[in-house]
Amino acid sequence: MSERREVAALEDISLSLVPGSFLTLLGPSGCGKSTLLRVIADIIVPTSGSVRVLGRSADEARRQREIGFVFQDSTLLPWRSAIDNVRLPLQVGGSVRPARRGRSPEELLALVGLAGWENSMPHELSGGMRQRVSIARALLGDPKILLMDEPFGALDEITRDRLNDELLDIWRQTGTTILFVTHSIHEAAYLGQQVLMMAARPGRVREIVPVDLPEPRELAMRDTGDFAALTGRLRRILETC
Amino acid sequence: MDAPADAARAAWLAAQNWLKWQRRILPLFGAASLLFAWWALVTYFEVKPFIAPAPQVVAQVLVQKSDILFANLVPTAIEALSGFALGNLAAILMATLFVHAKSIEMAFFPIVVLINSIPVVAKAPILVLLLGNGMAPKIAIAAVICFFPTLVNMVRGLEAVSPQALELMHVLSANKREVFFRLRLPTSIPFLFSALKIAASTAVVGAIVGEWIGSQEGIGALIIQATYAFDSALLYATVICGSTFSVAFFLVIRMIERLCVRWVPANHG
């Protein structure tokens, strides 16, 4: 029988995100990528240490709706239509809900390419469309930071490639800051302006790799030597994590 | 567009139509053949009327004694419906309490399961002793029968919420009330209806069993009277009357379910 011991899930991490930047988070499974996102979003409260987000406590940042969260599963409420799912943030958290700001639910659905699908129920939508609805929901209220936890991990590769491009479009149009967790080296390299590599046990920042691919990104870039060199470098760093 | 494709489509439509008709006609055919077998057996073996009646005699009794049957169905229906309402309401409230106070659930849920395992016919005399001879014990028995399956299903339904959905509500700073009404309660509705559909038939069973023990009126009392009088035709007519009510009750609940639960893909029914 092994003794139970406590393992520090995360150790002394400080992230500085330039407003409007796109940072991808890459690391082996169990390195605490998802935990880090959940600590920032105040879903998990660390047992020791403190968290500061945008200069205030994580709790306060959550109450001010500074953070939008996209889960791996679209987490739509199946009894609500697409538009009513996007409206959910307007209907809960009443006492702490800040004044309405940013795009309307209708505009957000159009932004994610679902104009005309407002009244469709989740079970009538494909997996990719459901995930777009959940992105629209996370963008409601114009959050300063969008946290995305392997949002396309459960989708097929063709849908995933398309959504990668659409996410970049959405990011350029909204100017929001995105922190994107993935376990795909290609996705991390293609989406991010920087790739933050994490190492496990305890979870810590291993290296921040800048991505110097030309903007705007296009899928054809994945076939270039520059892209292969970048993913090769990321893979070699991962082997030491 | 072209002729062969049109012909193929027409043939396919005709086949679908035929299949639809088969689905409607074959059950009727099945029922008719069983009725015929019943009639043939009773006639061929000259079964005595006090052992088993012929189907046409039962039909006759259903028409001739419809006033007596209806007069006895009313109290049973009232007991079943009141028991259904009380038992399910209590179950929903207790499930809500259990979900919000885990320690209460841990203390009492095993006892609930234990009581649920006592057969109705054993519970019924206890309740008659407690509540006397009027409608109250029958309503109580119907309520008790509905209560346990609904409680178990409702607790499961309220807890069938995905962890991510709870995290989402937390990110949105939803309070407990909002999590309950916007997330847990809607999640539990399909679970609730599958319990209500069971309860619709068992509530009638509970009311009838309650009437077996010291009652002058009701479907249960009429069953006992007809049996002791060897009036098999009346017995069969009473049973048909009771089960028709029970099936109708079930269908009403299913109709309400279809109106309320539109989000579950229509692959079960």
* Residue B69 pLDDT: 94
Choose the closest CB to B186 out of A77, A94, A121.
A77
Chain centroid, CA A84 distance in Å? 22
pLDDT one-digit tens code per residue, B160-180: 999 999 999 999 999 999 999
Residue A3 confidence (pLDDT): 41
CA triple B21-B22-B28, angle to 5 deg = 100
| Sign of torsion over alpha carbons B141, B146, B151, B153 | positive
Please report the sign of the dihedral spanned by the C-alpha atoms of residue A130, residue A134, residue A135, residue A139.
Answer: positive
Is 90 exceeded by the pLDDT of residue A8? no
CA–CA separation, B15 vs B7, rounded Å? 12
For chain B, positions 150-169, list CB contacts with chain A under 8 A: 162, 164-165, 167-169
Q: pTM for this one?
A: 0.82
Element (H or E) spanning B141, and its range? helix B135-158
Task: Give the model confidence (pLDDT) of B82-131 as tens digits.
Answer: 999 999 999 999 999 999 998 999 998 888 888 888 887 888 788 888 88
The pLDDT, as a whole number, for residue B58 is 93
Chain A residue with minimum CA distance to B183: A77
pLDDT band at B56 (very low <50, low <70, confident <90, very high): very high
Asked if pLDDT for residue A106 goes beyond 60, the answer is yes
In the sheet that holds A145-149, the strands lie side by side as A67-70, A145-149, A177-182, A22-26, A194-199, A204-210
The mean pLDDT of chain A is 86
Q: CA of B197 to nearest chain A CA: how many angstroms apart?
A: 21
ipTM: 0.89
What pLDDT was estimated at residue B82? Answer: 97
User: What pLDDT does residue A96 have?
Assistant: 56
In the numeric block, which tokens belong to residue A171? 């990011």
| pLDDT for the residue numbered B139 | 93
Enter the tokens of residue B164: 């991510």
- Structure tokens, B119: 């057969």
**CA dist., res. B254 & res. A35, Å (int):** 44
Is the confidence at residue A99, as pLDDT, over 70?
no
Categorize the per-residue pLDDT at B238 as very low, low, confident or very high, splitting at 50, 70 and 90.
Answer: very high
Residue B141, amino acid? I
Its sign, for the CA torsion B142, B145, B239, B258, is positive
B82 versus A211: the higher-pLDDT residue is: B82
Does residue A12 surpass a pLDDT of 80? Answer: no
Q: Is A57 exposed, middle or buried (0-12, 13-18, 19+ CB in 10 A)?
A: middle
Q: Is A124 exposed, middle or buried (0-12, 13-18, 19+ CB in 10 A)?
A: middle
User: Other CB atoms closer than 10 Å to residue A78's CB: what's the count?
Assistant: 17
| Amino acid letter for position A91 | Q
A109-141 per-position pLDDT tens digit: 999 999 999 999 999 999 999 999 999 999 998
pLDDT-based confidence at B234, cuts 50/70/90?
Answer: very high
Question: What does the pLDDT read at residue B268?
Answer: 39
**Chain B residue numbers touching A43 (CB-CB < 8 A):** 167, 170-171
pLDDT digits (tens, 9 = 90+) for A157-189: 999 999 999 999 999 999 899 999 998 999 999
What pLDDT score was predicted for residue B2? 61
pLDDT of residue A213: 84
B54-260, CATH topology level: MetI-like fold (1.10.3720)
Average pLDDT, chain B: 90
Contact residues on chain A for B165, CB-CB shorter than 8 A: 75, 77
Using the beta-carbon criterion (under 8 Å), do B182 and A88 form an inter-chain contact? Answer: yes
What's the token pair of residue A23? 């940072």
